[in-house]
A and B are shown apart, each in its own frame.
Chain A
Amino acid sequence: EVHLVQSGAEVKKPGESLRISCKASGYSFTSHWISWVRQMPGKGLEWMGKIDPRDSYTNYSPSFQGHVTISADKSISTAYLQWSSLRASDTAIYYCARREYNKNYGDNWGQGTLVTVSS
């Protein structure tokens, strides 16, 4: 059975760095893209970007380019989303989702990671 298990909730201060993770199991990690999706409190879903675990090729939404970094370690079937300097406006739930290479939807999602940024 496919599982995407994300790291736990985080509370950080503005300006701090953070990396959250998404560990895949139940399938070949290098056979699917991983996308990251943001959901701000009470709001809808926003696509942030994706990574190809085979070669770590990434593609970012312009709204997030330069503010976050998506990476992956195929040796441990884990994708990451990281910030070098958090803002209060980064407070949100972040989801990872898996996508087959020839498909354009997320067929399995992680449970979400709540990131709270507050001074």
Chain B
Amino acid sequence: GQNIDQPTEMTATEGAIVQINCTYQTSGFNGLFWYQQHAGEAPTFLSYNVLDGLEEKGRFSSFLSRSKGYSYLLLKELQMKDSASYLCAVSDYGQNFVFGPGTRLSVLP
């Protein structure tokens, strides 16, 4: 079956670093995506990993280990505007997007 797990909620302080983990078990793997969703808004694309390793994009980095079915999103120099839900999604062999439940991140001053 399809299963993606993420922590439900996380809290961090402005200026800190936070790591949001995602583990997955899907019928095939064509890539892993991270999306950010602010309350009441649509998800917006953050990153895409298809090979093992770290992809860095400004303050955001995403890591993938296909053998472990594991990814994380690393957010550095946290800002208040980073308070949002972060969704992990896997594209499986059927080319469907399977989304995780999302991690609600609260950044405190």
Co-complex (A, B)? no
- Interface residues in chain A, defined as those with a beta carbon under 8 Å from any beta carbon in chain B: none
- Interface residues in chain B, defined as those with a beta carbon under 8 Å from any beta carbon in chain A: none
